[in-house]
Chains A and B, each alone.
Chain A
Amino acid sequence: MKKTNWTVWVSNLSLPILLIASVVTFALLNDKFLTQINLTNILVQNMHITVLSTAVLILMIIGGIDLSIGFQISVVAVLIARTIKEGILPIWAAIVLGILVCMVLALFNGAMSRILKSHTMIVSLGTMAVFQGLSFLLSQSKTYGGLPKEYQYIAQYRIGGWLPTSAVITLVLVLVVGWFLKRTYLGRHLYAVGDNPEAARLAGLNVWRIKYLAYLIAGALVGVTAVLLSSRTGSADSGMGPDLTFTGITACVLAGVALKGGEGTLWKVVVAVFVLGVLANGMQLVGLGTYPQYIAKGAIMLGSLYLSNRSQKAA
C-alpha cells in the first residue's frame, strides 16, 4: 500500500520536481540563468505556448485532437496583421475579428467531425491543408512586419519594467479556464463527454453541444495565441504557426493528458510547458545545441509515459 501511494505521489509531482531540478541544475551551470532578464525571457518565450497548450488540453479532454491549430494561428495572425497594416480595421476590432474567425475555424473542425463521422485528428488533417492554403492566400506568402507599437505592447510591454503583459494575459486565461474546468458543471461535462460519450448521452447531456462549446473555447484560445505570437514578433506570416502544433500536443502528453479523453489537469500542462521551456532556454545558455535538446525532450517524454503507466497500474 505504501509502495502504491509512493508511485502515485511521484507520478503526480514528477513534473514540478523535474522543473525544480532543471532550474537548480541550470542555475548552477550558468550564472545568467537566474537573472531577472532571463527569467523574463523564459516567461515571454512560453506564454503563447501556455495558452495554446490550454486549448489543446480542452480538445483532448473531450477526446479530440486538432492538428490544424498551427495553421489556424497562421490564418488569424496574418488576417489581423493585414487588416491592421492596410488600415481596414482599428487594432481592437482586428483582434476581435481574428479571435472570432479562429473560433469559427475550430467549430468547423468539430462540425466536420460530426458530419463526416470521423475522429477530429483525421478531419483536422484535411482542414490543416485547407487552413494552410487559406493562410498562404491571405498572406500572399509575404511577411507582414512593422506592426504598430500599440499592437506590440500586447505581448511586449513590461509592467514595472519586468512583468510581461503576455504573462498577465496568460495568467488570467489559465485561471479562468482552470476555474471553468474544475468549478462549473459545463467544465465537468467536458470530462464526462470525453471519458464516455455514450454514458454522458444516457445521463442526459447533449454531447455535441458540449463538444461544440469546447471547440469554441479552444478556438478562442488559439486566436489569443495568434495575437500573442504576432504581437511578440511584431510580424505575421504563414509559417509562424505550424511548429507550435507539436509543441502544444507534446506539453499535454508530457502532462499525462489521456489521448482517449476524459482526463487532464491544467496545472500540470502549464508546468509541462515550463519544463520544456526551461530546458530549451537553459540548454541553450549552457551551450548545448539543438540536438541534445531533442534527446532531452524525448527522454523526458518517455520517462513521463513510464511514470504515468506505473501510476495507472498502482491506481
Chain B
Amino acid sequence: MKRFLTVLVAVLAIALLASCAAPTATPTPTTAPQATATPTLAPGKVAFVMMGLNNPFFVALSEAFKAGFEAQGWTADVTSGEFNPQTQIAAVENYIAQKVDVLFVWEVVPGSLDTVTQQAMDAGIKVIAFVQELANYDAAMKSDDAKVALDEVYLASLWTSTALKDLTTINVALITMDNTAVCKTQADAIKANLATIIPTAKIVTTYDVTAESVEAGVTAAENIYTTHPEVNLILTVNASPALGANNYFTGVSSPMTDFTKFGIFTINGSTELHEAIAASGTDKAPLRGTIVTAGIEATIGDMLKLANGTRDGTYKDKFTMYAENLFINASTLDEYKSTGTVTSIKESQFGK
C-alpha cells in the first residue's frame, strides 16, 4: 500500500507540474515600456516587495516591473508579501542585506513596516511607497481611492445618459466590501456623489461582501435580484464580485435575458473582465466597464521615473506621484488592449 501510494503521489506531482508548465491560450502581454526619464546615474539594483501575487493584475505588474527595469539595465527582483506583514519584513531585511539601490514597497498592514523601512533608508536605500503610504519613505506612488470610485460613476454615467435616458429613476445596487479600508473609501465616495453625477440614480440596496470572489458576486446578484428586480445599475468596488454578478445574469438560469437597460460597473480587474466588457458592446453581457488605475506600462514608466528621480535627487521629501485612471468600456477596450492606455475617454471630459 505504501509503495502504491508513493507511486501515485509521484505520478500526480509530475502530472500537475507538467500541466503547470503547459503554455496558456492567452498569455498576459508584458512588453517592456520605454524609459520615460533620462537617468543621470547608472542603473542599479531595484526590488519590489508586493502585497501578494494572488491575482492576474499583481502577476502582470510583477512581470512588467522586472521586464521594464531590466530593459533599462537595472537588476530587478520582486518578492510576494503573501499578504503577510512578517513575510514583507523579512523581504525588506533581505533587500537591505543585498544592498539594493531602490526599494518599492506595497505594504499589507499599515504601520507594519515602519521600523524596517527606516532601517532601509538608514542603509542608503531609496524607499518608494507603492499605493499604501508608509511612515518612512523618499517618494510615493499612489492612487486616489475616492477619485477612482468617482470615475467609475462617471463611466457609468456615459452609459446611463444614453441607454437609460428615458428612465425617471435609475435604481442602483451597490456591492461593497467594507472590511477593506480602500473599498470602504470607494463605496463611501460612490454613496456621497452618485446623485450629483447621475441625478436620476437612487441606491435601492447595498450588499456587502466579505470576500473578493466570483462566488460572492454570484450570491450577491441572486439576492439583489430577489429583493430588487427593478435594479438597472450595479456598481461594485472590486472586480471579482462584478464578474460573479455578470456570470449570474449571463448564466444558463439567468432570470434576465435583455440587458439593454441593465449595466454593471466596477474598479480594477484584469483580462478576465475583457470578454464580458467586449460582449456588453452588443448588450450580450451587462458588465460594461471598469476603471483601471493606470495601465501597467504607464505604471512601470512612472516607477522608472521615481527610481531614477529619487537616486539623483529630483524626487525627494516624500514626493508623491498620483496614478492616472483609465476608463475601460466596450468602446475603449481594444485601444487599451493594444496600447496599454486609453485616451479616447479622459477625466477632463467630465468637467473635472
| Chain A residues within 8 Å of B, Cβ to Cβ | 30, 32, 35, 37-38, 41, 44-45, 75, 79, 82, 85-86, 101, 104-105, 107-108, 111, 115, 134, 136-138, 140-143, 145-146, 149, 152-153, 156-158, 164, 208-209, 212, 229, 232-235, 237-240, 243, 281, 284-285, 289-290
Contacts of A234 in B (CB 8 A): 247, 250-251
Q: Whole-angstrom distance from the CB of B62 to the nearest CB of chain A?
A: 10
Q: Does B1 reach chain A (CB closer than 8 Å)?
A: yes
Instruction: Report chain B residues within 8 Å CB of A143.
Output: 55-56, 214, 240, 243, 272
Chain B residues, Cβ within 8 Å of A149: 252
A41, A107, A164, A232, most chain B CB atoms within 10 A: A232
Query: Which residue of chain A is the closest to B220 with respect to CB atoms?
Result: A284
Whether the Cβ atoms of B275 and A44 lie closer than 8 Å is no
Query: A281 to chain B: which residues have CB within 8 Å?
Result: 223
A143-B272, A145-B243, A289-B178 given; name 14 further pairs at CB < 8 Å.
A41-B223, A44-B222, A45-B222, A85-B25, A86-B25, A101-B16, A111-B5, A136-B54, A138-B16, A208-B1, A239-B212, A240-B214, A285-B227, A290-B210
> In the complex, A232→B251 CA distance in Å?
9
The distance in angstroms between the C-alpha atoms of A290 and B28, with both chains bound, is: 35
Q: How far is the CA of A143 from the CA of B287 in the complex (A)?
A: 16
Asked if B25 and A235 make an inter-chain contact with CB atoms under 8 angstroms apart, the answer reads no
Assess whether B211 is in contact with A243, with CB atoms less than 8 Å apart.
Answer: yes
* Residues of A contacting B243 in the complex (Cβ-Cβ under 8 angstroms): 143, 145, 235
| A137→B20 contact, CB < 8 A | yes
Verify if B283 is at the interface (C-beta below 8 Å from A).
Answer: no
Q: Which residues of B contact A104 (CB under 8 A)?
A: 8-9, 12
Instruction: Judge if B255 is at the interface, Cβ distance under 8 Å.
Output: yes
Q: Are A140 and B24 within 8 A (Cβ)?
A: yes
How many A-B residue contacts, CB cutoff 8 Å? 134
Which residue of chain A has its CB nearest to the CB of B8? A104
**Cross-chain contact of B214 among A41, A140, A237 (Cβ < 8 A):** A237
Task: Report if B323 contacts A (CB, 8 A).
Answer: no
Which residues of B are in contact with A by a Cβ distance under 8 Å? 1-2, 5, 8-9, 12, 16-17, 19-20, 22, 24-25, 28, 53-56, 58-59, 178-179, 207-215, 218-219, 222-223, 225-227, 240, 243-244, 247, 250-253, 255, 271-272, 275-276
Q: Which of A45, A82, A111, A157 interacts with B219 by CB under 8 Å? A: A45
Which residues of chain A are within 8 angstroms of B215 by Cβ–Cβ distance?
A: 229, 232-233, 240
A35 touching B226 in the complex, CB below 8 Å, given contacts A86-B25, A149-B252: yes
Q: B226–A32 contact, CB under 8 A?
A: yes
Question: Whole-angstrom distance from the CB of A12 to the nearest CB of chain B?
Answer: 31
Residue ID in chain A nearest B16 by CB atoms:
A134
| Given A32-B226, A145-B275, A149-B252, residue A137 in contact with residue B17 (CB < 8 A) | yes
Interface of A, secondary structure class, is: helix
A residues near B244, Cβ cutoff 8 Å: 233
Residues of B within 8 A of A208 (CB): 1
Q: Which A-B residue pairs are the 8 nearest by beta carbons?
A: A143-B272, A137-B20, A234-B247, A141-B59, A233-B214, A41-B222, A156-B252, A156-B253
Docked-complex contact A136 and B53, CB < 8 angstroms: yes
Query: A212 CA to B1 CA in the complex, in Å?
Result: 10
What residues of chain A lie closer than 8 Å to B275, measured between beta carbons? 145-146
Q: In the assembly, what is the distance between CA of A157 and CA of B252, in Å?
A: 6
Q: How far is the CA of A156 from the CA of B222 in the complex (A)?
A: 12
**Beta-carbon nearest neighbor of B255 in chain A:** A37
- A164 vs B222: C-alpha distance when bound (angstroms): 14
The complex places the Cα of A134 from the Cα of B18 at a distance, in Å, of 11
A108:B213 contact, CB within 8 angstroms: no
Given A104-B9, A233-B218: A243 and B58 interface contact (C-beta under 8 Å): no
Residues of A within 8 A of B222 (CB): 41, 44-45
Given known A-B contacts A86-B25, A137-B17, A141-B53, A209 and B1 have beta carbons under 8 A apart: yes
The answer to whether B58 and A141 have CB atoms under 8 Å apart is: yes
CB contacts (< 8 Å) of B240 on chain A: these are 143, 237, 239
In the complex, A45 Cα to B218 Cα: how many Å?
A: 9
What are the residues of chain A within 8 A of B59 when measuring CB–CB? 140-142
Q: Which residues of chain A come closer than 8 Å to B219, judged between CB atoms?
A: 41, 45
Cβ contacts under 8 Å, A284 to chain B: 207, 223
CA distance A149 to B250 in the complex (A): 10
Smallest Cβ distance from A216 to chain B, in angstroms?
A: 11
- What CA separation (Å) do A234 and B243 show in the bound complex? 10
B251–A141 contact, CB under 8 A?
no
* B213 & A243 in contact (Cβ 8 Å cutoff): yes
Cα distance, A37 to B19, chains bound together (Å): 40
| Chain A residues near B218 (CB-CB < 8 A) | 232-233
Contacts of A107 in B (CB 8 A): 5, 8
Distance of A101 Cα from B12 Cα, bound (Å): 7
- CB of B79 to closest CB in A, whole Å: 15
Contacts known (A152-B252, A153-B252, A232-B215); A38 close to B54, Cβ less than 8 A? no
